[in-house]
Chain A
Amino acid sequence: MFFDGRSSRRRTVALTFGDRLLIADIDAPGGPLASWPYDAIRRVDGAAGAMRLACTTAPPLARLELRDPAIRADILRRCPALDGPGSTSAVSVSRIVSASLAAAAAILAMVWFGMPLLADRLAVVLPYAWERPLGDAVDTRVRALFGAACEDPAGAAALHKLVGRLQEAARLPIAPEPVVLRSNVPNAFALPGGRVYVLAGLLDKSQSPDELAAVLSHELGHVANRDGLRRLLREGGTSFLVGLLFGDVTGSGTVLMTGRLVLSASHSRAAESDADAFAVKVMHSLGRPAAPMGALLQRITGSGEDGIPSILRDHPLTPDRMAMLEADDTPATGPALLAAAEWQALKRMCSG
């Protein structure tokens, strides 16, 4: 059976094995339809039971189909390159596997080393104003998650005074906007764009303005170092690249995501100690010790409720941190950050 690749006409042919394969139409006498050099003949996909051949020097879609076993044996004998280039021979799986692993390793290396570097450089360069939309976008969700803001005016004034003192010392390019949310989770966090959230649970657990101030200045440290933006760039960039390159295959995606989570956990430890150093610096320039933060964090640990996403989930109280904070138990040299009445107003802020 022969198809000449120029029309779909099916022809029954006779084959002559000369110095080339001559294909002649049985029903149409005259010259041969085609002559195929043996070394150009390739095997392609055919039906079961039929050997289908193509030829690299013939029209690309010309096909010869053979069902006679004797003729097939002849072809196998005479054609040296049946499974050469242009045929549908099985691809070497080991080559694919090794090439894929090499490519994956290269991409992962670029991502592991390159992405944090890129994120750091980019985070420093991007203007602060660009962080605002990010913070705003998350703001509604944060309020939905952690409750409404506590509106007591005396408490709000006290909080603003406290944060104002911190801002004098920290001198952030964006003025921080603190908000207290009515959730009894003991946590506080800062989002890109200068929004600082204190949760009522943290207010309850803190016993002096110094404790709260130290934690807040830690969070302000994150804002100053643009950790939120940096983390977003790094993790967003990583998952974006990885998802794009590796496709959505179950399995490899999970493995990579696991690795990515581990990566981000290890990187954030550096950011944490930087923010701690910032907090220490700010407290000292206000003349207050930073050690009370350690006491507050220990109090939260001591409450023993493990399932709650306390501040410790994001900032684990490692022995190093504890030691550093305890060592900073210097006496206060500056004025108290808040008067007693203001502190009481702040603590009572969310009980209304």
Chain B
Amino acid sequence: MSVAAISTDIVPDAPLAFTGNNGVFRRLVTRGALLELITFGFYRFWLTTDIRRHLWSHTEIDGDALEYIGRAGELLVGFLIAITVLGPLFLAYFVLGLEFERYKAFASLPLYLLLLAFGQFAAYRARRYRLTRTVWRGVRFWMTGSGWSYAARSVLWWLVLVPSFGFAYPWRSAALERYKLRHTLYGRLPGRFEATGWQLFKRVWWVWLLGLLPWLLLFGGFVAAFSTTGGGGQRPPPFGATPGSGMVAGFAIVLGCLGLVALPFLHAVRRAKEWAWWTAGIRFGNIAVACRLRPGGLIGTYWKLIGFGLAVFLGYAAAAAGFTVVLHSPAPVGGPFEMLLHGRLPVWGFAAYLAMYLILGIALGVLARIYTLQRIWQRVVAACAVIHIAEAADVAAAGDTVSAFGEGLADGLDFGL
């Protein structure tokens, strides 16, 4: 059954709905961020659990809401177990890195790849934890497969991706999603992934090229500018010493900067197409998902994120500048910390700078969670519908829970929800 056939011929019979309230989520995340600050970050396990519970329980498939049955305590335990593994690993990484650095500056690359593999292993296991804690109609999702196998594939594809400047990304995504979904099951119903890399490539190649363009323009422009200005000596300047080449360089730079403004649009379009492609490729038995997400559907979300982020930054800059003026301090020497050491800054002044910086960090974190997580979830879910949901009417339960080890690793390696 091809993807195109699904979206035009068959009418979806079960809408997906997101019933969550933006304000409720915003309050949840803001409160959570403040608590994270007070508890030195320990609250993150509870916050993550609460966020997932909110998102899951407000997502309804055919009228029945998903349920997240994970608990913060599991995340905490997973994290503690992960530390006992990561501790020695990081130590070994540091010592080995030191040793290799002596021979070649870039000999630490293999070690970086190893860490990357570890990260992918953690991501697979974390996904497994999350899936086994996802219940719909009393039946659990679960996963088979091996985290290391996935990690190996991921790293091999990465080795293809980098030399190709991202060209191979669609095929990499398809291959990894195929592996993940082949090993995903709902009860006794196995999943698979039927979209191909070529399909994704057809939709996003122009976005990718347009995204490269500003960088190429900027790079070319700067190179040209420096060659014309510096070309007075022995070597002849590449553009010839014509007055027009300086203008061309300047023009390229300006175009490049304008192009940078377009990047969020391009990113939003690319993400929307990726979501549409991915959801259309999911199969559980004969059940499929149809996604009506328009390519421009996520643009508003990303621009709001940028807009609010900029506003927060400007607010912080204004506050910090105003504060400096109020303190009547002379031209600052070094950062606030050096000034404190040299006795030029009263302790309360330093505390105020610290507080402003912390608020900045919290605000940006909250914005990121709201816009890159919840809003996107909301839009994608609202645009999707399930086909042949009748197949899910009587799926036998299967599958066991797994520990939150992967989540702990992901947390220790600093990435994840």
Binding site for B on A (CB under 8 A): 1, 3-10, 44-48, 50, 52, 61-63, 65, 88, 91, 93, 96-97, 99-101, 103-104, 133-134, 136-137, 236, 240, 244-256, 258, 261, 265, 306-307
Query: In the complex the two chains form, what is the Cα distance from A117 to B37 in whole Å?
Result: 29
In addition to A44-B67, A249-B44, A252-B36, 12 A-B residue pairs with Cβ atoms within 8 Å of each other are A3-B139, A6-B397, A7-B396, A46-B67, A47-B60, A63-B137, A65-B64, A99-B42, A133-B98, A244-B87, A252-B41, A253-B41
Least CB distance from A215 to B in Å reads 22
Cβ of B393 and Cβ of A8 under 8 Å apart?
yes
Least CB distance from B346 to A in Å reads 16
Q: B138 at interface (Cβ–Cβ under 8 A)?
A: yes
Set of chain A residues within 8 Å of B365, measured between Cβ atoms: 250
Cβ of A7 and Cβ of B90 under 8 Å apart?
no
Query: In the complex the two chains form, what is the Cα distance from A46 to B58 in whole Å?
Result: 8
CB < 8 Å neighbour of A91 from B72, B138, B395: B72
Cβ of A307 and Cβ of B46 under 8 Å apart?
no
Set of chain B residues within 8 Å of A101, measured between Cβ atoms: 38-40
Shortest Cβ distance from B102 into A: residue = A136
Cβ of B187 and Cβ of A7 under 8 Å apart?
yes
Cβ of B337 and Cβ of A258 under 8 Å apart?
yes
Least CB distance from B313 to A in Å reads 14
Cβ of B98 and Cβ of A10 under 8 Å apart?
no
Cβ of A61 and Cβ of B138 under 8 Å apart?
yes
Shortest Cβ distance from A309 into B: residue = B334
Set of chain B residues within 8 Å of A6, measured between Cβ atoms: 138, 396-397
Cβ of B337 and Cβ of A134 under 8 Å apart?
no
CB < 8 Å neighbour of B58 from A47, A52, A91: A47
Cβ of A46 and Cβ of B65 under 8 Å apart?
yes
Knowing A44-B69, A62-B138, A261-B337 touch, does A97 contact B362 (C-beta < 8 A)? no
Query: In the complex the two chains form, what is the Cα distance from A96 to B395 in whole Å?
Result: 39
Chain B contact residue count (CB 8 A cutoff):
60
Cβ of B187 and Cβ of A8 under 8 Å apart?
yes
Least CB distance from A103 to B in Å reads 7
CB < 8 Å neighbour of B35 from A93, A134, A248: A93
**Count of CB-CB pairs between chains A and B under 8 Å:** 155
Cβ of A246 and Cβ of B397 under 8 Å apart?
no
Query: In the complex the two chains form, what is the Cα distance from A80 to B43 in whole Å?
Result: 30
Cβ of A63 and Cβ of B138 under 8 Å apart?
yes
Q: B9 at interface (Cβ–Cβ under 8 A)?
A: no
Set of chain A residues within 8 Å of B102, measured between Cβ atoms: 133, 136-137
Q: B312 at interface (Cβ–Cβ under 8 A)?
A: no
Cβ of B354 and Cβ of A265 under 8 Å apart?
no
Least CB distance from B411 to A in Å reads 6
Set of chain A residues within 8 Å of B414, measured between Cβ atoms: 247-248
Q: Nearest 3 A-B pairs (CB), nearest first?
A: A3-B138, A250-B361, A100-B39
Query: In the complex the two chains form, what is the Cα distance from A136 to B103 in whole Å?
Result: 10
Query: In the complex the two chains form, what is the Cα distance from A99 to B102 in whole Å?
Result: 44
Set of chain A residues within 8 Å of B87, measured between Cβ atoms: 244
Set of chain B residues within 8 Å of A8, measured between Cβ atoms: 136-139, 186-187, 392-395, 397
Set of chain A residues within 8 Å of B37, measured between Cβ atoms: 249, 251-252
Q: B358 at interface (Cβ–Cβ under 8 A)?
A: yes
Cβ of A45 and Cβ of B361 under 8 Å apart?
no
Shortest Cβ distance from A132 into B: residue = B102
Query: In the complex the two chains form, what is the Cα distance from A101 to B43 in whole Å?
Result: 10
Cβ of B64 and Cβ of A7 under 8 Å apart?
no
Query: In the complex the two chains form, what is the Cα distance from A179 to B187 in whole Å?
Result: 70
CB < 8 Å neighbour of B39 from A5, A47, A104, A261: A104
Q: B13 at interface (Cβ–Cβ under 8 A)?
A: no
Q: B124 at interface (Cβ–Cβ under 8 A)?
A: no
Set of chain A residues within 8 Å of B337, measured between Cβ atoms: 258, 261
Set of chain B residues within 8 Å of A97, measured between Cβ atoms: 35, 38-39, 43
Least CB distance from A313 to B in Å reads 9
Set of chain A residues within 8 Å of B65, measured between Cβ atoms: 45-47, 50, 52
Q: B57 at interface (Cβ–Cβ under 8 A)?
A: yes
Query: In the complex the two chains form, what is the Cα distance from A256 to B187 in whole Å?
Result: 46
Set of chain B residues within 8 Å of A44, measured between Cβ atoms: 67, 69
CB < 8 Å neighbour of A244 from B86, B354, B396, B397: B86
Interface hits, B75-108 → A, CB 8 Å:
83, 86-87, 90-91, 94, 98-99, 101-102
Query: In the complex the two chains form, what is the Cα distance from A306 to B338 in whole Å?
Result: 12
Set of chain A residues within 8 Å of B99, measured between Cβ atoms: 133
Set of chain A residues within 8 Å of B58, measured between Cβ atoms: 47-48
Query: In the complex the two chains form, what is the Cα distance from A99 to B35 in whole Å?
Result: 12
Q: B412 at interface (Cβ–Cβ under 8 A)?
A: yes
Q: B129 at interface (Cβ–Cβ under 8 A)?
A: no
Shortest Cβ distance from A64 into B: residue = B138
Knowing A45-B56, A47-B60, A88-B53 touch, does A104 contact B138 (C-beta < 8 A)? no
Query: In the complex the two chains form, what is the Cα distance from A61 to B41 in whole Å?
Result: 32
Q: B19 at interface (Cβ–Cβ under 8 A)?
A: yes
Cβ of A45 and Cβ of B68 under 8 Å apart?
yes
Set of chain A residues within 8 Å of B94, measured between Cβ atoms: 236
Shortest Cβ distance from A91 into B: residue = B46
Query: In the complex the two chains form, what is the Cα distance from A249 to B364 in whole Å?
Result: 12
Query: In the complex the two chains form, what is the Cα distance from A267 to B290 in whole Å?
Result: 63
Q: B5 at interface (Cβ–Cβ under 8 A)?
A: no
Interface hits, B132-164 → A, CB 8 Å:
135-140
Interface hits, B377-417 → A, CB 8 Å:
392-397, 411-412, 414
Least CB distance from A67 to B in Å reads 11
Q: B341 at interface (Cβ–Cβ under 8 A)?
A: yes
Cβ of B40 and Cβ of A244 under 8 Å apart?
no
Shortest Cβ distance from B401 into A: residue = A60
